[in-house]
């Protein structure tokens, strides 16, 4: 379940002794009316994102829905036209430097020197970070390579890496310093199934260690398997947000009965108060509402309705996505 929004979270409160106590926001990312306008186009239109700390948040939407523009605003790469946002409790852009020191990101694919090895690329990146400690550089690089499973290929040239290895090296670069938040924009784009599994497993291990992960994607299998929460974008608007379980439970369940006694089943269900009862051959459907499945099945059995199949079906994540956006969803395990 996602943490509930606390209107006082992240604000300074008066203590009983007259001092102040800073309370930590339950959200790693929080926006209010975040907007980006390019000329006459509202690429992002007043969205309110809430990414709970410790969650894996799937940021979903068709191409052109505003996902990457939103991420670039969150990280200070472009300036919002309107609205406010906080990263790890820090107001942006006022405390951008402080906040982003605890944030790792992979935006629009990895960029490394092809002729250098993986470890040499990481050394160059770490040396370019004014806040990194040179005395701990080798240890941190080794730890980052271990974290993403690239230690055996550390001295192989980047050009010889597979796509999955390149993505994992990019994530290693994001982990050279301790991070509380990792932002990944389409991290499995273009990967084969093995590369996708590698990145998915890595994201799972990072989340298990308490790192909040925001992962932008259009791949249903990826989101279902690793994300606890989702936000769905459509034409610059955030059209749904919450835990995957809560969003699915909010969708209307349907009763499905397969029986050689459909007419008796229809009469029985209607007496119980099941609505929108419909018969199609030997398949009877309806909306059970709050009626308990065991009471429905018991009533059918008492009416001598023979059951070949009895189920309460809730919309899948793909069904939910299509209902929210009106578009199909690329499915890949």
Does the residue 299 lie in any domain?
A: yes
Q: How many residues make up the chain in this entry?
A: 333
Do 120 and 263 fall into the same domain? no
CB 162 within 8 A of CB 83: no
How many Å from the N-terminal Cα to the C-terminal Cα in the chain? Answer: 25
Does residue 6 or residue 240 have the better pLDDT? 240
Last residue of a domain, one of 228, 248, 268: 248
Q: Report pLDDT for 83.
A: 97
Does the residue 107 lie in any domain?
A: yes
**pLDDT mean over 274-302:** 94
pTM of the model: 0.76
Do 272 and 214 fall into the same domain? no
E runs forming strands in the chain: 12-14, 20-22, 27-38, 41-47, 50-52, 56-60, 82-87, 90-92, 103-106, 181-185, 212-217, 229-234, 237-243, 254-258, 275-280, 283-287, 309-313
Q: What is the mean pLDDT of the chain?
A: 86
Q: Report pLDDT for 117.
A: 96
Task: Provide the b/e sequence for 52-77 (b: ≥16 CB within 10 Å).
Answer: bbbbbbbbbbbeebbbbbbbbbbbbe
How many degrees, rounded to 5, is the angle at CA 144 between CA 123 and CA 153?
75
Do 151 and 273 fall into the same domain? no
Q: Report pLDDT for 15.
A: 40
Do 239 and 257 fall into the same domain? no
Does the residue 6 lie in any domain?
A: no
Do 222 and 280 fall into the same domain? no
Q: Residue 295's domain is classified under what CATH number?
A: 3.30.70.100
State pLDDT tens for residues 202-233.
Answer: 888 888 889 999 999 876 666 777 899 999 99
Hey, what are 192's tokens? Answer: 């084969």
Does the residue 274 lie in any domain?
A: yes
Does the residue 319 lie in any domain?
A: no
Q: Residue 231's domain is classified under what CATH number?
A: 3.40.50.300
Q: Report pLDDT for 221.
A: 64
Counting Cβ atoms within 10 Å, is residue 290 exposed (0-12), middle (13-18) or buried (19+)? exposed
Do 141 and 184 fall into the same domain? yes
Distances, alpha carbon 89 to alpha carbons 15, 55, 200, in Å = 20, 15, 27
Do 154 and 260 fall into the same domain? no
Q: Report pLDDT for 218.
A: 72
Do 130 and 152 fall into the same domain? yes
Distances, alpha carbon 206 to alpha carbons 122, 141, 213, 297, in Å = 19, 16, 8, 44
Do 211 and 300 fall into the same domain? no
Does the residue 3 lie in any domain?
A: no
Q: Report pLDDT for 220.
A: 64
Q: Report pLDDT for 147.
A: 87
Hey, what are 301's tokens? Answer: 């059995």
Last residue of a domain, one of 229, 248, 267: 248
Residue with tokens 């007496």: 271
Q: Does residue 128 have a pLDDT over 60?
A: yes
Last residue of a domain, one of 199, 220, 248: 248
Q: Report pLDDT for 196.
A: 81
Do 77 and 122 fall into the same domain? yes
State pLDDT tens for residues 141-178.
Answer: 999 999 888 999 999 999 999 888 998 899 999 999 88
**pLDDT mean over 316-320:** 76
Do 67 and 84 fall into the same domain? yes
Q: Does residue 4 have a pLDDT over 50?
A: no
Does the residue 215 lie in any domain?
A: yes
Report helix, strand or coil for 253.
coil
State pLDDT tens for residues 74-105.
Answer: 999 999 999 999 999 999 999 998 999 899 99
Residue 290: which pLDDT band, with cuts at 50, 70 and 90?
A: confident
Query: What is the domain range of residue 307?
Result: 252-313
Residue 69: which pLDDT band, with cuts at 50, 70 and 90?
A: very high
Number of domains in the chain: 2
Residue with tokens 């947000």: 241
Do 50 and 182 fall into the same domain? yes
Q: Does residue 313 have a pLDDT over 90?
A: no
Does the residue 324 lie in any domain?
A: no
């Amino acid at each position: 379940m996602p943490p509930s929004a606390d209107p006082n979270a992240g604000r300074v409160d008066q203590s009983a002794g007259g001092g102040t106590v800073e309370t930590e926001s339950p959200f790693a990312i929080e926006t209010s009316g975040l907007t980006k306008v390019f000329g006459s186009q509202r690429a992002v239109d007043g969205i309110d994102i809430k990414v709970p700390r410790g969650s894996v948040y799937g940021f979903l939407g068709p191409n052109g829905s505003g996902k990457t523009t939103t991420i670039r605003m969150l990280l200070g790469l472009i300036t919002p036209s309107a609205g406010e946002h906080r990263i790890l409790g820090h107001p942006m852009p006022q405390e951008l430097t402080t906040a982003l020191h605890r944030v790792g990101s992979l935006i629009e694919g990895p960029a490394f020197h092809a002729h250098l090895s993986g470890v040499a690329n990481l050394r160059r990146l770490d040396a370019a970070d004014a806040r990194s400690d040179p005395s701990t550089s080798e240890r941190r690089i080794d730890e980052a390579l271990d974290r993403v499973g690239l230690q055996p290929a550390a001295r192989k040239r980047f050009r010889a890496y597979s796509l999955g290895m390149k993505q994992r090296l990019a994530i290693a670069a994001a982990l050279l310093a301790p991070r509380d938040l990792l932002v990944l924009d389409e991290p499995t784009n273009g990967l084969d199934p093995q590369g996708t599994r590698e990145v998915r497993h890595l994201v799972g291990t990072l989340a298990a260690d308490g790192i909040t992960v925001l992962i932008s994607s259009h791949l249903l299998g990826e989101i279902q398997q690793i994300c606890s929460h989702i936000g769905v974008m459509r034409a610059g608007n955030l059209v749904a947000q919450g835990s995957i379980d809560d969003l699915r439970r909010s969708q209307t369940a349907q009763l499905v009965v397969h029986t050689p006694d459909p007419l008796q089943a229809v009469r029985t269900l209607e007496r119980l108060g099941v609505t929108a009862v419909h018969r199609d051959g030997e398949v009877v459907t309806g909306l059970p509402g709050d009626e308990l499945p065991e009471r429905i099945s018991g009533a059918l059995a008492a009416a001598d309705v023979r059951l070949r199949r009895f189920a309460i079906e809730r919309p899948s994540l793909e069904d939910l996505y299509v209902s929210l956006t009106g578009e199909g969803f690329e499915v890949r395990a």
